[in-house]
Amino acid sequence: MKREILFSACGHLVIIVALLLLSSPLGKSKIYPTIYQVSLISLPKLEVKTAEAKAQEQPVPKVIVKEEKALPKKVTAKKKPPEPAKVEPNKTQEQNPTQQIEGLGQATLEGEKLESPYYAGIVFAKIKSMWRNPVEAASLQATISFKIQKDGEVTDAVIEVSSGNNFYDQAALRAVLTASPMPPLPTHYAGKDLTVHLNFVGVP
């Protein structure tokens, strides 16, 4: 019995000693921190350049200014104002002057020269015989233009200057047309036709 108690006490003692050893710092294994080996390398110096320094370092482009040669001015000749056209006198009118026809008015002939006024007298006498003034109470004037062909036929008869009264104008035109045909142009006449401007004057 005493042995069992002794053995039990010894066992408990061993257990207590083991627990003490385990709980003491000696029983624990030391944990050392991880050590890294770092080698320092010197970095190159960073140069901070300002915008002005950069602008000074950049090469300035050279500006080459070419001198332009002044072109000679063109001298333009001043144009002379056109001279007014010289009005030559109408030879046909000089050759055949204006005639005054009794009972009608003035007559102007255009064309080659008539050697004798005899032919013109026959023409105007025939027209006068056909002329009837429809407006006798007023003083009116109208000019009829017409051509006499070689064979005496009257063509291109028109009212050249109106009197302002249609009845009077038509009566004057009718007198010329009804007098057609005229006698043929004289054989000595060099032109192809004879143009007549006949003024009809109506006096009340």
**How many domains are there within the chain?**
1
Q: What is the mean pLDDT of the chain?
A: 77
Residues 6+ apart with CB under 8 A from 150: 184, 185, 189, 192, 193
Greater model confidence, 141 or 85: 141
Instruction: Give a yes or no: residue 12 inside a domain.
Output: no
Instruction: Give a yes or no: residue 174 inside a domain.
Output: yes
Instruction: Give a yes or no: residue 102 inside a domain.
Output: yes
Q: What is the mean pLDDT of residues 160-169?
A: 93
Instruction: Give a yes or no: residue 26 inside a domain.
Output: no
Which of 73-77, 122-126, 162-166 comes out lowest in average pLDDT? 73-77
Q: What is the pLDDT of residue 89?
A: 46
Residue 167's pLDDT band (boundaries 50, 70, 90)? very high
Instruction: Report the CATH number at residue 160.
Output: 3.30.1150
Instruction: Write out the residue range of the structural domain in which residue 150 sits.
Output: 93-202
Instruction: Give a yes or no: residue 73 inside a domain.
Output: no
Q: How far apart are CA 186 and CA 151, in angstroms?
A: 10
Q: What is the mean pLDDT of residues 68-87?
A: 61
Instruction: Give a yes or no: residue 39 inside a domain.
Output: no
Is 60 exceeded by the pLDDT of residue 189?
Answer: yes
Neighbours of 184 (CB within 10 A): 14
